[in-house]
Amino acid sequence: MTIALDLLTVGRISVDLFSEQINTPFSQPQTFQKSIGGSPTNVAVAAAKLGRKSAIVTKVGVDPLGEFVVNKLKSFGVDTSFVKVAESGLTPVVLASQDPPEDPKIIFHRQPSAPDTQLIVSDIDDQTLKSVKNFWVSACALSQGTTAESIFHWLEVRGRAKETIIDLDYRPSFWKSREEAQVAAQRALSQCTIAIGNIVECDVALGITDPKKAADDLLSRGISLAIVKMGGDGVLLATKDKSLVIKPLPIKLVCGLGSGDAFGGALIHGLLNGWDLEKIGAFANAAGAYLASELMCADAMPTLEILNKFIEQTLKFDLKLFIP
């Protein structure tokens, strides 16, 4: 039976351990808070907490941590119909040290074969692929195992239907080389309608570091909405008809992890509401800013009520701009 979904993401999932100490390296004693993570996992959670029907296609290990992950997803309102148990491999564990908070150090424990690299074509039925309103792919998922070719098959079946989104998410340890990552990203871009990446990720995927040129290159490849995150210079959103920059918001940074995923979930919310580009960008930017002011990722993803309150009280925006 096909499930009516606003968003279906694909890719990595893990148990995440966040250091509670600031500017303390892994080599020193630390205590941690436990949650779940992985970029496509966080995006699915972010959308669900904004009231959207989301699900993730992934796999966990045959271990208690896998049970923890599934239970956490359910507690956040994410549909787990497409979360399966892999035949081998342990549920990945990721450690994050706030050293420094704006650019945390991360250690991935995913060897020898993470369950989320073992997805197969039959893990998603064709009807779901064609009917889901937003299909979100993490470029990291194109790096290893049977998951990569399964995703390329799913993209072909979907046929560049709106909206098919690629997050150019790049983790060097997942790839044999930058060149391999570029080939995979460009192959996926030819089947997507929206692309999101920071300057480093655009450099890996396109060989371009200038944000405007990167956006133009993405649009020339048939992308209808190009989003380039520029760090302290804000976020560039571009279509063939319009281009604008949303400036960064003044916040007290707690942790730089997951803000892009909060942005992604809010982007989906704005797209589903049919908002214009400026409204989508401002709302998504606010979601990212909110999460950067919190320690955790998935657990801290804001509800619509929390985010609107943050916008109204902290950022002095017009609340009416954002309420659907």
Number of domains in the chain: 1
Inside any domain, residue 282: yes
Average pLDDT of every residue of the chain: 93
Inside any domain, residue 157: yes
Q: Is the pLDDT of residue 118 over 60?
A: yes
pLDDT-above-90 percentage for the chain: 80
Report the pLDDT value the prediction gives residue 101, as an integer from 0 to 100. 84
Report the pLDDT value the prediction gives residue 223, as an integer from 0 to 100. 98
Inside any domain, residue 116: yes
Q: What is the mean pLDDT of residues 109-138?
A: 95
| Tens digits of residue pLDDT in 203-221 | 999 999 999 999 999 999 9
Inside any domain, residue 323: no
Inside any domain, residue 1: no
What CATH number did the domain enclosing 195 receive?
A: 3.40.1190.20
Inside any domain, residue 89: yes
Of the given ranges (199-208, 209-218, 280-289, 314-323), which has the lowest mean pLDDT?
Answer: 314-323
- What's the CA gap between 18 and 33, in Å, rounded? 5
Report the pLDDT value the prediction gives residue 115, as an integer from 0 to 100. 97
Q: What is the mean pLDDT of residues 178-203?
A: 98
Q: Is the pLDDT of residue 34 over 80?
A: yes
Q: Is the pLDDT of residue 322 over 60?
A: no
Q: What's the 3-state SS for the chain?
A: CCCCCCEEEECCCEEEEEEEEECCCCCCCCCEEEEEECHHHHHHHHHHHCCCCEEEEEEECCCHHHHHHHHHHHHCCCECCCEEECCCCCCCEEEEEECCCCCCEEEEECCCCCHHHCCCHHHCCHHHHHHCCCEEEEHHHHCCHHHHHHHHHHHHHHCCCCCEEEECCCCHHHCCCHHHHHHHHHHHHCCCCEEEEEHHHHHHHHCCCCHHHHHHHHHHCCCCEEEEECHHHCEEEECCCCEEEECCCCCCCCCCCCHHHHHHHHHHHHHHHCCCHHHHHHHHHHHHHHHHCCCCCHHHCCCHHHHHHHHHHCCCCCHHHCCC
Q: What is the mean pLDDT of residues 24-43?
A: 93
Q: Domain range for residue 18?
A: 7-317
Q: Is the pLDDT of residue 319 over 50?
A: no
Inside any domain, residue 322: no
Q: Is the pLDDT of residue 180 over 70?
A: yes
Inside any domain, residue 2: no
| Tens digits of residue pLDDT in 82-93 | 999 998 899 999
Q: What is the mean pLDDT of residues 260-283?
A: 96
Q: How confident is the model at residue 324 (pLDDT cuts 50, 70, 90)?
A: very low
Q: How long is the chain?
A: 324
- Which one, of 112, 109, 125, 130, lies nearest residue 57 by Cα? 125
- What's the CA gap between 78 and 69, in Å, rounded? 11
